[in-house]
Amino acid sequence: MKKVIYETYGDADVLKVADFMVNEPADGELLVKVMAAGINPVDYKIRNGSLKFIYRAKLPRTPGGEISGIVEKTGSKQSKFKPGDKVYSMLPISIGGYSEYITVNEDLIGLMPENISFNEAAGIPLAGLTALQALRDKGNIGKDMKVLVNGGSGGVGMFAIQIAKAFDAEVTAVCSEKNISFVKGFGADQVIDYEKEDFTRLNNKYDIVFDAVAKSSFDKCKSILKKEKSAFITTVPTPPLMLRQIINPLVNRKTFAILTKPQSKDLDFLTGLIQKEKLKTSIEKVYSMEEAAQAHRHIETGRVKGKLVIEIKQ
Ligand SMILES: NC(=O)c1ccc[n+]([C@@H]2O[C@H](COP(=O)([O-])OP(=O)(O)OC[C@H]3O[C@@H](n4cnc5c(N)ncnc54)[C@H](OP(=O)(O)O)[C@@H]3O)[C@@H](O)[C@H]2O)c1
């Protein structure tokens, strides 16, 4: 089988397609024929070595933290799944999704919603679980809360807007002018164009500020957080924020850095929203495995609208 690998850290040119043996699934695992793999910023951050201080990847490594596919074989007879099931998953950091086949623990797998394609499903788990776990588990989101999503046009941001709306919150999304109609299409009640207005200087007060693109900071957002029971949540931890998290039990304006956990029960929650048509995705471009370097150069621009996906031609 083919998979994308890199044997040294470096720029996107280190990515290449190579042949490997297909592994047998161990007890509790599934062998999944991958139909598509989602692309996320973490894929290039690990590849270029900028995350070496927190995660030293074993080389050669295959990138890719989320997939959709078809169960080929189950490792145990009592599996919840059967060959032929259409599934999707956020993968643990040790497994790379840009691959024709993967073996993965079945606790990390969810049945794919029937109303979306493999390409759409592949780009949902990682960014979707990030948005869900940030807003629900850190922000305690609820009805009528005022939520601001910075970076509403990115992978995480587009899901965050819709998840916040599904919890009946009032959502303000921040994006550039070219993406205003895009974020409105996901249900944002208000939109702030970051090229024209600095959202941190407005008089509005929010229960949750979710900095999905990690371009702001708690210090800048403090004045727009409500004085009681509010939360600033970011996707990229910084040392000052990690320190401030320690005093959360003592303060009203709490700070959180999210570290997304792959888990099928949360994936099932997203599936429910997708089936009720409360959550949808948008794919800017589909690449092949041979175009993985191009795909990485694209995500590295930081300008992707929605998601990028690698379609695995089986
Ligand atoms: N900690 C975790 O577990 C975890 C999990 C998932 C993701 N992350 C991190 O979360 C971040 C976002 O991920 P993602 O997948 O959403 O990224 P992404 O899809 O690559 O984000 C691209 C989007 O960001 C927007 N953007 C760029 N600069 C902006 C700014 N200054 N203000 C507002 N929007 C801006 C761009 O729109 P314009 O072109 O209009 O600027 C574009 O639509 C990444 O750093 C990723 O590594 C962390």
Among residues 95, 96, 107, 160, the alpha carbon closest in space to that of 131 is found at: 160
Closest ligand 1 atom to Cα of 42? 47
Q: Does 250 share its domain with 289?
A: no
Return d(Cα 130, Cα 140) in angstroms, integer.
14
Amino acid identity of residue 184, one-letter, is K
Over residues 268-274, the mean pLDDT reads 98
How do strand 190-193 and strand 170-175 relate by DSSP bridges?
Answer: parallel
Asked whether 258 lines ligand 1 (CB < 6 A), one says yes
Q: Does 92 share its domain with 166?
A: no
Over residues 191-200, the mean pLDDT reads 98
Amino acid identity of residue 48, one-letter, is N
pLDDT score for 53: 85
- Per the structure, the count of domains in the chain is 2
State the first-to-last Cα distance of the chain, in angstroms, to the nearest integer. Answer: 10
Q: Does 113 share its domain with 43?
A: yes
Among residues 283, 258, 265, the alpha carbon closest in space to that of 124 is found at: 283
Q: Does 162 share its domain with 60?
A: no
- Report yes or no on 43 lying in a domain: yes
- Report yes or no on 52 lying in a domain: yes
Measured in Å, residue 304 CA sits from the centre of ligand 1 at 8
- Report yes or no on 262 lying in a domain: no
- Write the CATH number for 226: 3.40.50.720
pLDDT over threshold 90, residue 158: yes
Measured in Å, residue 159 CA sits from the centre of ligand 1 at 12
Asked whether 304 lines ligand 1 (CB < 6 A), one says yes
Measured in Å, residue 156 CA sits from the centre of ligand 1 at 7
**Alpha-carbon distances of 58 from 63, 93, 200, 269, 289, rounded to whole Å:** 11, 11, 41, 32, 21
Q: Does 40 share its domain with 84?
A: yes
pLDDT score for 114: 96
Tell me which of 257, 272, 303 is where a domain ends. Answer: 257
pLDDT over threshold 80, residue 314: no
What integer best gives the mean pLDDT of the chain?
A: 97
pLDDT score for 73: 98
Q: Does 137 share its domain with 216?
A: yes
pLDDT over threshold 90, residue 77: no
Q: Does 145 share its domain with 110?
A: no
List the alpha helices (DSSP H) in the chain.
41-47, 118-122, 125-132, 155-166, 180-184, 218-221, 239-245, 264-275, 292-300
Task: Please indicate, yes or no, whether the overall pTM of this predicted structure exceeds 0.75.
Answer: yes
SS (H, E, C) 240-307: HHHHHHCCHHHCCEEEEECCCCCCHHHHHHHHHHHHCCCCCCCEEEEECHHHHHHHHHHHHCCCCCCE
Atom 18 in ligand 1: which residue has the minimum CA distance? Answer: 154
Among residues 204, 244, 248, the alpha carbon closest in space to that of 226 is found at: 204
pLDDT score for 54: 87
Return d(Cα 151, Cα 302) in angstroms, integer.
10
- Report yes or no on 18 lying in a domain: yes
Q: Does 90 share its domain with 137?
A: no
- Write the CATH number for 17: 3.90.180.10
pLDDT score for 56: 85
Q: Does 131 share its domain with 93?
A: no
- Report yes or no on 88 lying in a domain: yes
Q: Does 191 share its domain with 223?
A: yes
Mean pLDDT is lowest, of 26-30, 52-56, 80-84, 121-125, for 52-56
Local confidence band at 305 (pLDDT 50, 70, 90 cut-offs): very high
Mean pLDDT is lowest, of 17-26, 51-60, 161-170, 202-211, for 51-60
Give the CA-trace dihedral at 203, 204, 207, 208, to 10 degrees.
-90
Q: What residues make up the domain containing 150?
A: 127-257
pLDDT over threshold 90, residue 105: yes
Convert the pLDDT of each residue in 37-66 to its tens digit. Answer: 999 999 999 999 999 988 888 999 999 999
Asked whether 295 lines ligand 1 (CB < 6 A), one says no
Q: Does 50 share its domain with 169?
A: no
- Report yes or no on 56 lying in a domain: yes
- Report yes or no on 276 lying in a domain: no
Q: Does 116 share its domain with 135?
A: no
- Report yes or no on 170 lying in a domain: yes
